[in-house]
Amino acid sequence: MLTAKLKREPKINKYTDIRRGRKVKTYRIVIYPIVEDEDGNIVKDCGRLRSGPFFKELDARNNLNKFISTKLEEIEKSINPKTREKRCDELLDDFLHWGRYEKQRKWKESTYLTYEDSINSQIRPYLNNCKISELIKKTENFQEHLSKGTYIKQGRTYPLSSSRKRLAYTIYRYFLEYLHDKKIIKVNMVAYLGKVEFKRAQPRETILEHDEIGRFIEIAKERVKDPNIWLMIEFLLTTGLRKGEMTALFVRDINFKLRDVNVYKTYDSRCKEKYRETKTEAGKRHVPFPEFLVEPLQEMLDERRKTFTDTELLDQPLFIKNGNPYPTTTLSHAFELVQKQFELETGKHVVIHDLRRTFSSLLCENSEGNHDYIKKIMGHSSFSTTAEIYAVCNANQAKKYTEKMNQSLNDTFEKINVDRREEV
């Protein structure tokens, strides 16, 4: 089989183009591909190939690998129209298609989107232009690749967390098993992957104390002008909803008579419809909200009734901005302003999911150990999830419980000593 490769190192050359009568500096990628047979003999020299113009050198460098792989693939398709073997990055597309449409137990949409995101950001760039014959070496070095990995979120670059590394490792393992089951590879290469080296991250234990909750809301009202932000923070604190679940609430999902909300979907910007079902069946639930939120919520909706009819209002998201669903990025930015000031005052760094953790801990503290109720309100399939990840025993609670236990022990031992004295 004939193979396309580069004759020499690629270049990024500077050019001067004439656009609308003006001279403009542009950059183009230049490569010199050749075609070799199985013995390494050159059978064709493809000359010089240039990319289209880029107005920044950085853009040209960012597109360098993509341009090379695309051109080499095009050359190989033309010289091996029937016999060219698929590369690993192409097989990843087959793997995703199989999991979503052909697998006996098809992936849920949320699972598919999570896998697709991890593959596109971590696995596909690593396996770019990789042949099946090179897969063993790539597999042996995959965990080392993950240890240095990064991801981009809202324009910022972050190191991969332990959970993201473990997810990418798991998906890569499933991919290798898929290739073996489909007889694309003769040997199951999972052994070359090795045992996972990334330990599970310890769950956060940050919650807001009783006196800190009020101060956090005060800071929100001082630092953020939009009253909807205050209301959304209070709503998250008093219902324990995830940010995506709150964003996906519609007006028809709220019942003021029973004072509860119907949770059955979550916001996901990766979906075409922007909404998807909750990850598990347990996530579909009715969650009560406190009485003090009834008046501000009704005032917010009464203001919108001046513009929309009741029928139109029911089909709107509960929280909107300029007639559209409230942007999660706007909420995150506003929350960051609040938490920075809160951290300056208390030294405690709070993320938006800590509001749910705070609610869970308060729920455990005040529900008299009713595990089924706690599990239902939190939307967990198992109470162990709540106990291990969300419920945090803070210092005050620990002191209270210890004092209560010590008092009980003192009473017990005092009774024993009394009984002994009476016997003597």
Ordered by start, the domain boundaries in the chain are 1-84, 86-201, 210-390, 397-424
Percentage of the residues of the chain whose pLDDT score is greater than 70 = 86
Q: What is the pLDDT of residues 139-197, one digit of tens each?
A: 999 999 998 887 766 556 778 888 889 999 999 999 999 999 988 888 889 888 888 87
Q: What per-residue confidence (pLDDT) applies to 75?
A: 85
Residue 317 above 50 pLDDT?
yes
Q: What per-residue confidence (pLDDT) applies to 139?
A: 92
pTM: 0.64
Tell me the average pLDDT across 327-339. 88
Looking at the DSSP bridge assignments, the partners of residue 13 are 28
Residue 371 above 90 pLDDT?
no
CATH code, residues 210-390: 1.10.443.10
Q: What per-residue confidence (pLDDT) applies to 364?
A: 79
pLDDT range class, residue 402, cuts 50, 70, 90 = very low
Tell me the average pLDDT across 186-210. 82
Residue 301 above 60 pLDDT?
yes
Tell me the average pLDDT across 301-305. 91
Contact present, 146 and 168 (Cβ < 8 Å): yes
Q: How far is CA 286 from CA 33, 138, 240, 360, in A?
A: 62, 48, 12, 16
Tell me the average pLDDT across 82-86. 61
Q: What is the pLDDT of residues 243-291, one digit of tens each?
A: 999 999 999 999 999 999 999 998 887 777 788 888 788 889 999 998 8
The per-residue pLDDT of the chain, averaged, comes to: 83
Question: Among all chains, which residue has been given the structure tokens 């001082």?
Answer: 222
pLDDT range class, residue 209, cuts 50, 70, 90 = confident
> How far is it, in rounded angstroms, from Cα 200 to Cα 194?
17
CA angle in degrees (0–180, nearest 5) for 81-30-17: 125
Tell me the average pLDDT across 289-317. 90
pLDDT range class, residue 376, cuts 50, 70, 90 = confident
Tell me the average pLDDT across 77-83. 68
